[in-house]
Structure 1
Amino acid sequence: MASIDEQFKKVQQLLAVAKPKLNTTQKLLFYGFFKQATVGKNNTPPPKKSDLSGTYKWNAWKKVENLSQDEAKTKFIELAKTFLPANSKL
């Protein structure tokens, strides 16, 4: 069985190829899990209120900041599986 880091990288590659159609909420879920998985806890100051895109992204990351990086990777992988073709090899 591949390590969580190997699975995380693989699923990112599969998503890049599959290019699933995602709505804004789904994109923000992926973003939050990805930032938590790769950076860790969100210790950045919130963006200016006029930066709506930045605010949505910041909030998505902030919502999952209590997950460990491995937990965030696992959540990212689980979410990705719902958008990848059934025959995708992880």
Structure 2
Amino acid sequence: PVQVSYYRNAMTCTDHSLTRSDKQELVQRYQEPHTDNMSTLEQRFLEAAEKVKTLTQRPTDEELLELYALFKQGSQGDNNTDKPGLFDLKGKYKWEFWMKKKGLTKEAAQEEYINFVQTLLEKYTSEK
């Protein structure tokens, strides 16, 4: 088997016997979505993240903050970032909403996110 270093770019291949086209194929393969290694929940989570972009009306600020917090918790887990500065009000609200999700597992946050997106789709578009 070919030994490859995948530091987000398969062009850093450690096996120099690969041709340029082999390396390009590896790069292309790793730039495409990998649904074969993803759980069904992760697939549904990513699909919900795409579907939410189809809203025809803008949700409330509170709904957007909830959406943000659930996405961050579902993709990164607990918030361990520094609190934004005093004058960064938008960043502060986003940080606070994400902090409210602390302790929620990634899987539970992904499930909540999927359900919340469905609620928003029903509320702000005709698609269900």
Q: Please tell me the TM-score bracket, short chain as reference.
A: 0.7 to 0.9
Letter of the aligned partner of 1:72 in structure 2?
A
Higher helix proportion, which one?
A: 1
Q: TM-score, normalised by structure 1?
A: 0.87
Q: TM-score, normalised by structure 2?
A: 0.62
* Alignment match of 2:111 (pick from 63, 66, 74): 74
Pairwise CA distance, 1:19: 4.3
Distance 1:73 1:63 in 2: 15
* Alpha-carbon contact 1:28-1:56 (below 8 Å) kept: yes
Q: Give the RMSD, CA atoms, in angstroms.
A: 1.7
Partner residue, 1:61: 98
* Alpha-carbon contact 1:42-1:62 (below 8 Å) kept: yes
**Unpaired segments of 5 or more residues in structure 1?**
none
**Unpaired segments of 5 or more residues in structure 2?**
1-38
Letter of the aligned partner of 2:108 in structure 1?
E
* Alignment match of 2:82 (pick from 45, 68, 72): 45
2:59 maps to 1:22: yes
Alignment CA distance shift 1:76-1:20 (3 Å): farther
Distance 2:77 2:56 in 1: 25
Letter of the aligned partner of 2:105 in structure 1?
S
Deviation per residue, 1:48-81 (Å, 9 max, x gap): 1111001000001000011000111011111111
User: Deviating runs (4+, > 6 A) in structure 1?
Assistant: none
Which structure has more relative contact order (CA 8 Å, sep 6+)? It is 1
Tell me how many residue pairs correspond in the alignment.
Answer: 87
Distance 2:120 2:58 in 1: 8
Pairwise CA distance, 1:18: 2.8
Where in structure 2 are the equivalents of 1:78-89 lying within 5 Å?
A: 78-85=115-122, 87-88=127-128
Distance 1:6 1:40 in 2: 17
Q: Which has the larger radius of gyration?
A: 2
Q: Percent identical across equivalent pairs?
A: 28
